Amino acid sequence: MFIRFLVKKVVTIIVFVIVVGIIGYLYISSGLYNVAASDHHTSLTLWTISTTTDNSVRHHAADIVAPNDLMADSLEGFGHYNEMCLDCHGGPGIGREEFAEGMYPLPPTLVGVDSVWTPSQLFWIIKNGFKFTGMPGFGSTHTDKQIWSIVAFTDHLSHMSYRDYMAMQDSLGGESMHEDSDK
């Protein structure tokens, strides 16, 4: 009796999974899902993405240990930030570039991001980026030391004014962090 009941349940579950799979496949094949960046996610999708992202970053950054002299290279970090992050994320009193306004998700301001993520989590995010968002991973083009310097600079961002930022830009005197890659 019991075995029969169990077999019936298992068959029902398998049929259910197959039907859901077929419906899912038909939906994907139909092209009805709108991939446009101008079409925004539902709140359920947003919740799923942000919860998955939070947990993924926490899990993957768990064993990363920040260097003791983390803040030593923050000026170098500014140079990298200024060239590679400012256009998308903006800065203190500085908006993102026009192209980034059309991105979805929008690149958030990083002013105050040091209170959202720990240095190790920021390191992981900057090194690896986020799939399907436009947030690049910088690990293939930058050393760990350079990435830690960017992490250090994000800590300063929260305490800087627009004027401070501009003064730092002037102090670089047009010097580029990426001269080699332009040649």
Where are the alpha helices (H) located in 35-177, listed in sequence order? Answer: 43-61, 74-84, 86-89, 98-101, 119-128, 144-157, 162-172
Closest approach, Cβ 91 to ligand HEC, in A, equals 11
DSSP 78-114: HHHHHHHTHHHH-BTTBPPPHHHHT-SSPPPP-TTGG
Of 1 and 175, nearer to ligand HEC (C-beta) is 175
Cβ–Cβ under 8 Å, residues 135 and 125: yes
Residues in the interface with ligand HEC (CB under 6 A) total 25
Tokens of 84: 């590679």
Asked if 147 and 119 count as a contact pair (C-beta separation under 8 A), the reply is no
Candidate list 79, 91, 107, 119; residue touching ligand HEC; CB under 6 A: 107
Is residue 89 at the binding interface for ligand HEC, with CB under 6 A as the rule? yes
State in angstroms the smallest separation of the CB of 14 from ligand HEC: 36
Q: Is there binding between residue 138 and ligand HEC (CB under 6 A)? A: yes
Told to check if 150 binds ligand HEC by CB under 6 A, we report yes
* Of the residues 105, 137, 164, 169, which one makes contact with ligand HEC according to CB under 6 A: 105
Which residue, 52 or 161, has its beta carbon nearer to ligand HEC?
52
Binding mask 114-133 for ligand HEC (x = CB under 6 A): --x-----x--xx---x--x
Contacts of 114 (CB under 8 A, 6+ apart): 122, 154, 155, 157, 158
Instruction: Tell which residue, 86, 5, 104, 96, has the closest CA to residue 46.
Output: 104
> Could you list the residues that contact ligand HEC (CB under 6 A)?
53, 80, 84-85, 87-89, 100, 103, 105, 107-108, 110, 113, 116, 122, 125-126, 130, 133-136, 138, 150
